């Protein structure tokens, strides 16, 4: 979902993935899933007024995906006037229903201080809930908090553990940072230039120019270390 609020910028396009990965995996779509699918189609076609109404109806029947997307439309004023209080209510409802992306976005709202008073500790709580269920963006956000000591005590060991999880989940930034941990060693991480090189290569393959340079530098260093 395109949006003025970057924290919720992946609503409807990502929603298609949630719909396919969840409801379709269970076989026939439920009525609320079909309604949400219709709302997604209308949103992608630019029919925001209809999409907002359809998301609302599906949300009222308990569709987590509709709750999330309806919240984003309310917060961003799409398909009608913005309604921040109502948007926050529906976002929290989707988060409480254990939709990990809603938990991540709800946490980011507090981390950024967008629509609410900034509260890194509250953000940490929601990032942890989502990250513990494998949400890659939440894993990265949690790692950053541990590294900075924001919303929690600074803990480089925990930071590395969550960067590594996010890196294994394919996050480019986390791959670079995991590589840097292995390159320098410390904080419970044994220095290993071969592993560091592999993480830099993974980030470089996704277009990170700094990772590409690191990969080249470590490749040259490891080549020099080979027995003559």
| DSSP states along 70-128 | HHHHHHHT-SS---HHHHHHHHHHHHHTT-HHHHHHHHHHHHHTSSS---HHHHHHHHH
Average pLDDT over residues 47-51: 96
pLDDT of residue 35: 86
Q: Is 164 a domain residue?
A: no
The mean pLDDT value of the chain amounts to: 88
pLDDT of residue 30: 60
Half-sphere exposure of 202 (CA within 13 A, CB side): 21
The residue to which tokens 């990969």 are assigned: 215
Q: Is 118 a domain residue?
A: no
b/e code 105-129 from CB counts within 10 Å (16+ = b): bbbbbbbeeebeeeebebbbbbbbb
Band (2; pLDDT cuts 50, 70, 90) = very low
Q: Is 194 a domain residue?
A: no
pLDDT of residue 7: 55
From CA 93, how far away is CA 87, in angstroms rounded? 10
Domain that holds residue 6: 1-97
Closest by Cα among 56, 114, 40, 119 to 84: 114
pLDDT beyond 80 at 14: no
pLDDT of residue 17: 33
Q: Is 92 a domain residue?
A: yes
The total number of structural domains in the chain stands at 1
pLDDT of residue 212: 98
Closest by Cα among 183, 182, 186, 178 to 162: 178
pLDDT of residue 227: 84
Q: Is 34 a domain residue?
A: yes
Q: Is 209 a domain residue?
A: no
Band (13; pLDDT cuts 50, 70, 90) = very low
Q: What crossing angle do the helices spanning 84-96 and 100-112 adopt, rounded to 10°?
A: 130
- Token pair for 216: 């080249």
Closest by Cα among 143, 97, 145 to 119: 145
Query: How confident is the model over 97-156, as pLDDT tens digits?
Result: 999 999 999 999 999 999 999 999 999 999 999 999 999 999 999 999 999 999 999 999
Q: Is 17 a domain residue?
A: yes
DSSP string, 116-177: S---HHHHHHHHHHHHTTT-HHHHHHHHHHHHHTSSS---HHHHHHHHHHHHHTT-HHHHHH
8 Å CB contact between 79 and 71: no
Query: How confident is the model over 191-215, as pLDDT tens digits?
Result: 999 999 999 999 999 999 999 999 9
Band (34; pLDDT cuts 50, 70, 90) = confident
Q: Is 88 a domain residue?
A: yes
């Amino acid at each position: 979902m395109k949006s003025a609020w970057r924290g919720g910028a992946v609503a409807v396009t990502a929603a298609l993935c949630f719909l396919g990965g969840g409801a379709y995996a269970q076989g026939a779509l439920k009525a609320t899933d079909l309604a949400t699918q219709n709302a997604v189609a209308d949103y992608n076609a630019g029919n925001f007024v209809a999409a907002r109404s359809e998301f609302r109806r599906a949300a009222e029947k308990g569709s987590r995906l509709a709750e999330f997307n309806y919240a984003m439309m309310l917060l961003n004023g799409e398909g009608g006037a913005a309604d921040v209080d109502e948007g926050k209510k529906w976002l929290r409802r989707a988060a409480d229903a254990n939709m990990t992306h809603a938990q991540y976005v709800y946490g980011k709202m507090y981390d950024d201080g967008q629509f609410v008073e900034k509260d890194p500790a509250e953000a940490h709580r929601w990032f942890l809930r989502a990250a513990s269920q494998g949400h890659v963006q939440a894993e990265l956000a949690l790692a950053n908090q541990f590294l900075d000591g924001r919303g929690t005590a600074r803990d480089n060991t925990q930071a590395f553990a969550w960067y590594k999880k996010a890196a294994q989940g394919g996050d480019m930034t986390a791959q670079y940072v995991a590589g840097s941990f292995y390159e320098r060693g410390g904080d419970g991480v044994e220095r290993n230039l071969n592993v560091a090189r592999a993480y830099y290569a993974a980030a470089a393959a996704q277009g990170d120019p700094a990772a590409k340079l690191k990969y080249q530098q470590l490749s040259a260093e490891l080549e020099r270390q080979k027995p003559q």
